A and B are shown apart, each in its own frame.
Chain A
Amino acid sequence: GNSVTQMEGPVTLSEEAFLTINCTYTATGYPSLFWYVQYPGEGLQLLLKATKADDKGSNKGFEATYRKETTSFHLEKGSVQVSDSAVYFCAPRVNQFYFGTGTSLTVIP
């Protein structure tokens, strides 16, 4: 079946720290991979995506690389900001989305 395992939170970092949120998935077929972000009080917003192996998705300083051999799509950012505080969801898509549980990130000044 299809499923996703995401790093447990909450994660608290100081501003300018390096961020990694791990995500691994199982999927029947060849999924597209997405990261969505949910800021406080808002809906889900697409952060980045990758549709085939070795593709790197990037947006707002965040990056994730589609690793087919390890079935992973880890999210990274070199220097987080307070405004990055949100919940991050890894979501493989094979037709429908399969969301992870979300990782809450709090960045403190």
Chain B
Amino acid sequence: EPEVTQTPSHQVTQMGQEVILRCVPISNHLYFYWYRQILGQKVEFLVSFYNNEISEKSEIFDDQFSVERPDGSNFTLKIRSTKLEDSAMYFCASSSQGTSGGWGTQYFGPGTRLLVL
């Protein structure tokens, strides 16, 4: 069964450093998403991406964040200058176009645990 994969599984970085989290969505999916889950808190939407553009983003997704689909398979989340509060589990998800005409069922990757020291 196809699945979303993410690398690395864990990353430790120093405050102020740039990190890039990588995701390989399911191959025939067209919509891509990033979520995060701070330890002990709810899963929060960050951004959605379709047709090489951001479709929607939350208040969390400020100028420190960016997303890119650098080739036909990868979907990346970059944090330019990490802060302590960026420590969280980051989930990538992908979906095909649903019957509602937009966002089908989203399939999630296993997550990347980011720790900012």
Asked if A43 contacts B56 (CB within 8 A), the reply is no
A43-B109, A44-B108 known; A93 vs B43 contact (CB < 8 Å): no
| Given known A-B contacts A32-B100, A99-B42, A45 and B108 have beta carbons under 8 A apart | yes
Q: Classify chain B: how many residues form its interface, as a range.
A: 20 to 34
Within 8 A of A (CB), among B68-87: none
Identity of the chain B residue whose Cβ is nearest the Cβ of A99 in the assembled complex: B43
Say yes or no: is A77 at the interface (Cβ < 8 Å to chain B).
no
Contact between chains at A99 and B56 (CB < 8 Å): no
Nearest opposing residue in chain B for A46, CB measure? B105
Question: What is the CA–CA distance of A91 and B108 in the complex, to the nearest angstrom?
Answer: 13
Q: Is B94 an interface residue (CB 8 A)?
A: no
* B51 interfacial by beta-carbon distance below 8 Å: no
For window 51-108 of A, CB contacts with B under 8 Å fall at: 51, 89, 91, 93, 95-102
For chain A, the bracket of interface size reads 20 to 34
Contact A99 B44, CB 8 Å, known A32-B100, A43-B91, A44-B91: yes
Bound Cα distance A32, B102 (Å): 12
User: Are the C-beta atoms of A42 and B56 separated by less than 8 Å?
Assistant: no
In the complex, which residue of chain B has the Cβ closest to the Cβ of A30? B100
The reply to whether B42 and A95 contact each other, CB–CB distance below 8 Å, is no
Q: Chain A interface (Cβ within 8 Å of chain B)?
A: 32, 34, 36, 42-46, 49, 51, 89, 91, 93, 95-102
With A43-B109, A99-B42 given, name 12 new contacts (CB 8 A): A43-B91, A46-B106, A49-B105, A95-B102, A96-B58, A97-B43, A98-B45, A99-B44, A99-B45, A100-B42, A101-B42, A102-B42
29 contacts between A and B (CB under 8 A): A34-B105, A42-B110, A43-B4, A43-B91, A43-B108, A43-B109, A43-B110, A44-B91, A44-B108, A45-B108, A49-B105, A89-B42, A89-B43, A93-B103, A95-B103, A96-B33, A96-B48, A96-B56, A96-B58, A97-B35, A97-B43, A98-B45, A99-B43, A99-B44, A100-B42, A101-B41, A101-B42, A102-B42, A102-B43
